[in-house]
Amino acid sequence: MSSATNATEARELEARGIDAVIAQGFEAGGHRATFSEPYERGHVGTLALVPQVVDAVSIPVIAAGGIGDGRGIAAALALGASAVQLGTAFLTCPESAAHPLYRRALNEARDDQTRITHAFSGRPARGLENRYLREMAGYEAIYPDFPILNTLTGPLRKASAKGNNTDFMSLWSGQSAVMSRNLPAAELIELLVKETESVLERLATAV
């Protein structure tokens, strides 16, 4: 499996023989999966991306990006996805290694608080805005490339976490962070399945 952020990338992956394509929408947390240049070609929202990728390839499509609960999963299935991939929703599970302040920031995040930034690693990734992102804005032209910048910011990120300060931590997050439930992963999956079934039932009886 591999991720695509537009239909062209999805077709390219299929031609290279992958078994399933993950359609990663613009809402997704963490590093952008875009491998075509420029990166802006991968700025397609999940709602628009998934059906276009479904139409573009004949292999199964897994929807990713901004899915936070059963409503999002049911919507992705309605768009033609065979499955979904959630990342941000699992960051606040007890099994995750996320710092307590990072968890709190995710639980309190508003829908408009994430940014796409190259400033931590040299590659675009979506995370919650903090002091580091604000102060690095405007210097994009002189950021070193990945993975040099990633190596350079490593000690800064570690020191920030050790000092219990989110100013210089990479707070990777999708746009649905506040929908996180903080449940153990197995319970979260059970709840997501139940929610999805109930949305699908409601829709089936509504027509």
Ligand X SMILES: Cc1cc2nc3c(=O)[nH]c(=O)nc-3n(C[C@H](O)[C@H](O)[C@H](O)COP(=O)(O)O)c2cc1C
* Contact positions vs ligand X (CB under 6 A): 3, 24, 27-31, 33, 64-67, 85-89, 91, 172, 174, 176
CB of 65 or CB of 122, closer to ligand X: 65
Q: Listing from the earlier edge strand, what are the strands of the sheet with 2-4?
A: 2-4, 21-24, 61-64, 83-85
Tokens 């409601």 locate to 202
CB of 111 or CB of 142, closer to ligand X: 111
Q: 22 φ, ψ to 5°?
A: -95, 120
DSSP class per residue in 168-182: GS--B--TTGGG---
Report, in Å, the least distance between residue 93 CB and ligand X. 12
Report, in Å, the least distance between residue 206 CB and ligand X. 27
Burial class for 60, CB neighbours closer than 10 Å (0-12, 13-18, 19+): middle
Looking at residue 33, what DSSP letter applies? -
Report, in Å, the least distance between residue 67 CB and ligand X. 6
CB of 64 or CB of 74, closer to ligand X: 64
Tokens of 128: 């919650």
Is-contact 67 84, C-beta < 8 A?
Answer: yes
CB of 72 or CB of 141, closer to ligand X: 72
Report, in Å, the least distance between residue 90 CB and ligand X. 8
Report, in Å, the least distance between residue 204 CB and ligand X. 26
CB of 30 or CB of 154, closer to ligand X: 30
